[in-house]
Structure 1
Amino acid sequence: MYEPPQPSQHCPRKNGYFGHEAKGICDKFYYCVDGQFNMITCPVGLVFNPKTGICTWPDEVGVKGCNSQDIFEFECPKVNESVAVTHPRYADPDDCQYFYVCVNGEIPRRNGCKLGQVFDDDKKHCDWSRNVPECADWYKDRLTDAELDELENPKPKTKKPLRTRGPSRRKPAKAAASQVEEDIDEE
């Protein structure tokens, strides 16, 4: 039996995942349950895929205005693949912590280094900010020197003592088993 949709604010139907109504807003979507919505934001670099209902890479979505070049405003330089790597990496020109991987040398995907690290464009990998001269001060107003040092040189974790468990519910404890035997012998 067919039931017509019952739209409400941000929900074309009572239940489901729906993209944002405004063109160009690709990283936000609505999760609707009984006509009530929750707005969800995709992690940085991902966009909502209306076909799958999850966040994914922009090049996998196929929604006009939401492709990699639109989202990142970054175009992969043309490379000769016989000389270069298949998926070259390039520093994000605006953010030392991020870089672009150009899939098959053509499609940019934004990736990031872990907190405290930056992308070293010469070596093409993440490294501690102090080791990359052009990004040495990247975390200056974000993290203290002590916090950066703790990230780079974490203190060893102390092992917690193992929990002692009570008797097994599957196997009777030895003392309990011998008590049962004694009870049987007495009868």
Structure 2
Amino acid sequence: MWKSMFIVLSILFGAYMVECSAYDDFDCPKPNGQYEDPFQCDKYYECKNGQATEMMCPDGLVFNSRKRSHNKCDQPFNVDCGDRKDLQPANPEGVCLRQNGFFPHPDSTICNIFYNCVDGQHMEMSCASGLHFDLKTGTCVWAENAGRPDCNNNANKKLKDGFQCPTVYEQMNKDGQMISHPTYPHPDDCTKFYICLNRVEPRQGACDAGLVYNEEIERCDDPDNVPGCKNWKTGSPKQ
């Protein structure tokens, strides 16, 4: 029987703990404290004066009895659930496989990009050059240690002309977020440019006849609008 319902803000994860119901079948080891459910890793019991209340961690987090803070819901890679393998049904939202946690890019060949999800809202994150997102630890590790065979082998390669995607990404969109597929001008040819797919795989692109690449607007444009390429119509070298 439902006794009460309340939500407690978790400062660490920006998530919530939800009180489910008074529970008479759980024997509190001590009159007061928080104790794990023997079967379900994201369920636990809050005991007050010997009365147990069934509690549930936010979707994606599990109970960590070793945490010193009052909110003991934690990321799964920080907790050894042992035989407590049961979990609440997932509540996915977009790229978030659960409401909270760290999740890989939906394309299994893209291993350097992952998502930090809090309450179903995601933030895209990138590993440093040469690192891949590790599904088990939720961190970036060396590619050979990640154990992800589908990863794109073209990442961080060089094109024949020597172009390689930068390892430091500085291009942001109008909302202040990193651009997923940034473009860069060709050093010698105004009609050509480079695309870094997922910021790591280089490709070369070319503008339609009569247009040149404009770095400021990140697309092809009239030569008169691009400094150094105004005379490109006549075939003059890039200035």
TM-score norm. by structure 2 comes to 0.30
**Larger C-alpha radius of gyration, 1 or 2?**
1
TM-score norm. by structure 1 comes to 0.37
